[in-house]
Every structure is written in C-alpha cells, then in structure tokens.
Structure 1
Amino acid sequence: MESTHSKIIELIGKKIISGYFPEGYIFSNRETSGEDFGVSRTAIREVLKILQSKGLIESRTKVGTAVRPKSDWNMLDPKVLEWRLKNPLQNQNAMAELEEIRRAFEPKAAALAAQYHNSENIQKMMKALRGMAYSTEKEDMAQCDVAFHTEIMKATNNSLYVAFGDLITVGLQNLILNDMEAAPVEVELWLSWHREIAEAIEQSNGELA
C-alpha cells in the first residue's frame, strides 16, 4: 500500500510536471509546513528534500521553496520520466525523446551483450520470447518485450547500460504499444526480429545483434 509520504511526493511532483505549480512558483507557508497536506513539518521536509534531489524545486534564501525551470529537472530520474509520460501535455515529447535515446544505444547494447552474455541471460531472453509467442493481448506481449530488452541490458555487463535500461523500462512498454499501433506487424514477423537478435547474441555475433 502506498504511504502518505509517497502520495504527497506524487501529488506535488505531478503538479510541477503539469505546470499547475509553474516555474518560479513559491510554495506558501501552509504548504511547506505540511498543513495543506495534513502531515508534520518533518514529513513535508523529507518530501521536499526528495523533490529537490529530482531537480524540481530549490530553496532560496529569504524567498522560500521555489519550482525550478524545466531545464533543471533531472530527466534521468525514473519518477520524473514517469510523471512526464503520464501527463497529456508532456507525453508526446517525452515519448519522442525516449524513442531517440532507445534507438541510439540499443544496437550498441546488443553488440555488447553478444560479447559478455552468460547462459542465464540467454535463458531469460528465450523465456521472454516464449511469453511473446503465447500472449493473446498486446499489453502482455509488450510486457514480455520489455523483459527481453531489459535482459539485453543486463547481458552487457555494463552498469551504466543496466541503469539506462531501468530508466527506459519506465516508458518502454508504452513505446512498444505505440509502435504496434502505428505500424501493425504480424506476430510471427515481430517474433522473428527478436529471435534473430537473441540468436546473434547467443552466437556472440555482435554485428548481427
């Protein structure tokens, strides 16, 4: 069950992302004391500290707590990305940026996976492929697809790729579903693309992966 602490982080974070609390907005004393949110000063202080770590707000001397410009937001924070993806005004831009990043580094990740994978990585990729093959709903198929790509990141044996994989997982399922809707393909063709990647990785063929 989500804690009150987490709910307030979500509430304020989403309001900043949506522009309800715009750039430069100064939080009132009632807000920073926790009174408006029904929590103690200690609790709201922790909430604001977390939002500050995400680059969404800052503490200004003799001014108070203010919302930072969008250019200062930590776009690599999974929660910031999640809130952007869930916001109608931010969604399309966030999805486009995520797709560009994905296309830029996934081929290199597959090549590294071909070099550094282990048997467990291959087993999990094949399990994800089987899940895709037997899925009857697009959402289930997309979830298995996410598991497949996540395992490729793990197979790179590179902690930074794994971290990026964790970040992209936040929006990858939406990206995959969008791809399915924008350019519908036969399930067998979709599976064959993934099977070829998995086999190339298993055979340590970085060029084909």
Structure 2
Amino acid sequence: MEGLSVAKADLTVYVHPSKANKVDQAVRRQLSSLLFTYNELFDGVILAHEFNFKSKHAKILPGLIPYFGVNVKAKLLVFSPRPDMLLEGKVVKLGKESIHVIVLGFCSAAIMMEDIRQEFKYKIKGGFGTFVSLAHKRHVIKAGSMIRFLVKRSIKRPRGSDFVMGLQDQHSRLFDNIDQSQNLSRPHKARKRTAE
C-alpha cells in the first residue's frame, strides 16, 4: 500500500534521573508515546519504531530536576497519505451520501457521493445499506468489505506536544515540554479545606 515510508532520525530523548538505570526502557516508552498520532516533525503518523544509541554518553541538563539527554538513532515507520495515492481500507459504515472506511485499523476516511463511481447505486438489502454495481451485480460494497480508493485530500490533525522528545536542533522548545510533561505525569493530591 502506498503512504508507508521509513524515516531515519537522529533524536535526543530526555530521560528523568530516576530512570538512569533503565535508559533503554525510558527511551522505548518515550518513542512509544508517539505511536498512532500525527507528528509534524515526520509529517505523518508513526506506526512503529526501532532504535539504537549513538553513544554511551548523555548530556545532563541544568535545572531543578536535571534530566539527561540521550542521543538515539531511530527508524520510524510513518504513514503519510498524499493526494492521488491508492489506499486500502475496511468499510465500517455506509450511507446514501458516503462510505466510511478504516485504514490500517486506526485511520478513518470518508468517500463522499461525488467521488463514488457512478456505476454504484445505493440500495438497502436485508435491512443494511449497500452500494451495488450496475455493471457487475456481484460487485457489492457493504460493511466489512475491503475496498481500494484514491486519496483526494489529507487532513492533518496535530497533537499537542506533551512528550519530552525531539530532534536535536529543537532544544529550546523541548525545555518547555519538560515542564509540561512533569505536570501531566504527576497525580494531583486533593487537599482538605477547613472552615475557619
């Protein structure tokens, strides 16, 4: 299927000091936080990762909690559909005006009426909507069918950057993200209020 590519990246992953004896696990966890979400840096959705360390040395960052930066070489499988690419997906919903498809089990697409070939007509069979070909009566599109379609346009939905990771030339933006991820990862304790 088109739209899949492998990106090679030199990354700096920032690890909390408490994970100093489990750096491999901490890096894997940070990279896994990127999976199945759109990432601006790689212009696509990251589906899988593989990494190795560039060196055994890490740079300690100054601050209240001194995170340390680990240099990593990573291979990332990226899904980045572009107009006129041929994709395959499973039909999950049909209506008079559209066909809704799931691609690779996580990415949704809608094929609108004006983009459905004119040989297909919407009919209700057995209480369920289907698109039936007028040229080939056995050619039926229903929920559960696998279909191929051309991408007309692709909508990018960037995710908030609540993880502590990035390309080496993005250090200044990452320092802000460290504070955000600290706040997100710590549970807040409820305080009892006393009436005075």
Asked if Structure 1 and Structure 2 have the same fold, meaning a TM-score greater than 0.5 normalized by the shorter chain, the answer is no
Higher RCO by CA contacts (8 Å cutoff, separation 6 or greater) = 2
Higher strand share: 2
TM value normalised by structure 1: 0.24
Based on CA coordinates, which of the two structures has the bigger radius of gyration?
2
TM value normalised by structure 2: 0.25
